[in-house]
Amino acid sequence: MSKKNIIIYSLILVFGLSAPFLFPAYKLQISILWVLTILALTWDIQGGQMGYNSFGNILFFGVGMYVCSSVQIGMFFPLSEWTASGGEKTFLHTTSQYFQGFTYGLIFAGIVPAIVAALIGYGILGLRGHYFAICTLGIGIAAGEIAGGIELIGAGQGMTVPPWPKGIGGTELRSQFFYYLCFLTVCVTFFVIRLIYQTRFGLVINAIRDNEDKAEAMGIHTMRYKIIGWVVSAFFLGIAGGLMGNMIGYIEPTEIAFAGSTYGVFMVLMAILGGKGTLWGPVIGAAVFHVFKEGFWTFFLGWQYVALGALIIVIVIFFPEGILGWFREKYPENFGEVVDEVDRTAQVELT
């Protein structure tokens, strides 16, 4: 690790650890920023590095959210009674029950989506290009509609997640707890993804993006790698979903869990905004997007979706390579690339 790298990582670490004390009013906002970063990072495994533009990764987010709270509740109380008649009955978790349930909930929130990804991956990752994009779009929306029809998890009424146990400190402690959990998750996600990009896996999925047929001809089992990539995404997305559900406190099928029209779109947009196919791009994209959104968006009162639509159009038409990609074009030497000017101009003329 270079010296500069260490400085950057430690600065982010210091910011992440001290933020709740520096900006106590913004704890939830920054926690959501970390969750958004996870969404963008995991989307980029498919969309950026592998060339499989998925519109349906929100599926794993939603599954994780429902699995997490179902486990939290189901371990101690009958789930069907918890959700009956719109959640009229209330059961209280004791402190130990709460944390025990939450731990198991998060574990399952990671594992179940990963299993789902492995199961459907073989069928769906065989599709290419826009067929894959539209197919995943269909899965994401269908999942929300189906969840909205299942009585056990509250159907269209949604379900409430267990409230923070009374008697161990109030809302401050709660938001701090979730803040650090989100920060921890985003750090783990980042370093796991960074690690796997440095191995053979990273090279293979790049090869799939650049030319899948050739990669196959070289004797690589591309399907295996594609599924592994999806499973990794699903695992972290599921945990992010479990965290998000608990932070919000209320789960609704199409607007919060399988929120294709918000988080589903945001994750694609953030990765592209920052620069898809790079490690830091999604992180930067998420930060810029979230700041923009919370800083200005909220005051648009109704115009924000016009702005979002226009933003998408402008980004894909004029900056399809994103912020990092733009800098990479402009200052390639900063990215450790050596540019032969003669060769470069020759190539430009060719294209």
Residues 144-173 that bind another protein (CB under 8 A): 145-146, 148-149, 155-158, 160, 163-164, 170-171
Q: Which residues contact 316 (CB under 8 A, 6 or more apart)?
A: 272
- Of 257-276, which residues contact another protein (CB under 8 A)? 259, 262, 265, 268, 272
* Start-end of H helices in the chain: 3-22, 27-44, 58-74, 79-87, 95-124, 129-147, 171-198, 200-217, 222-248, 265-274, 281-295, 304-318, 322-330, 341-350
CB of 111 to another protein, least distance (A): 23
Of 233, 259, 231, 227, nearest to 66 (Cα)? 259
Site for another protein contains 206 (CB under 8 A): no
Quick one: tokens of 325?
């990609």
Q: Which residues contact 145 (CB under 8 A, 6 or more apart)?
A: 253, 254
- Of 72-101, which residues contact another protein (CB under 8 A)? 85-90
Task: Please tell me the distance from the alpha carbon of residue 101 to that of residue 99, in angstroms, as a whole number.
Answer: 5
Site for another protein contains 329 (CB under 8 A): no
For residue 9, the tally of other CB atoms under 10 A from its CB is 14
Of 244, 241, 237, nearest to 189 (Cα)? 237
- Of 31-60, which residues contact another protein (CB under 8 A)? 32-33, 53
CB of 188 to another protein, least distance (A): 19
Output 78 or 170, the one with its CB closest to another protein. Answer: 170
Quick one: tokens of 283?
């992180």
Size of the site for another protein (CB under 8 A): 101
CB of 99 to another protein, least distance (A): 18
- Of 277-296, which residues contact another protein (CB under 8 A)? 280, 283-284, 287-288, 290-291, 294-296
Q: Please pick, from the candidates 21, 167, 199, 334, the single residue that binds another protein as defined by CB under 8 A.
A: 334
Q: What is the DSSP string of 147-215?
A: HTT-GGGTGGG-EEPPPPPTTS--HHHHHHHHHHHHHHHHHHHHHHHHHHHHSHHHHHHHHHHHHHHHH
Output 219 or 342, the one with its CB closest to another protein. Answer: 219
What single-letter DSSP state applies at residue 251? Answer: E
Output 78 or 126, the one with its CB closest to another protein. Answer: 126
For residue 272, the tally of other CB atoms under 10 A from its CB is 28
CB of 216 to another protein, least distance (A): 9
Output 111 or 127, the one with its CB closest to another protein. Answer: 127
Q: Please pick, from the candidates 49, 73, 174, 229, the single residue that binds another protein as defined by CB under 8 A.
A: 174
β-bridge mates for residue 160, sequence order? 250
Site for another protein contains 118 (CB under 8 A): no
Output 321 or 346, the one with its CB closest to another protein. Answer: 321
- Of 213-252, which residues contact another protein (CB under 8 A)? 244, 248-250, 252
CB of 24 to another protein, least distance (A): 8
CB of 285 to another protein, least distance (A): 10
Site for another protein contains 331 (CB under 8 A): yes
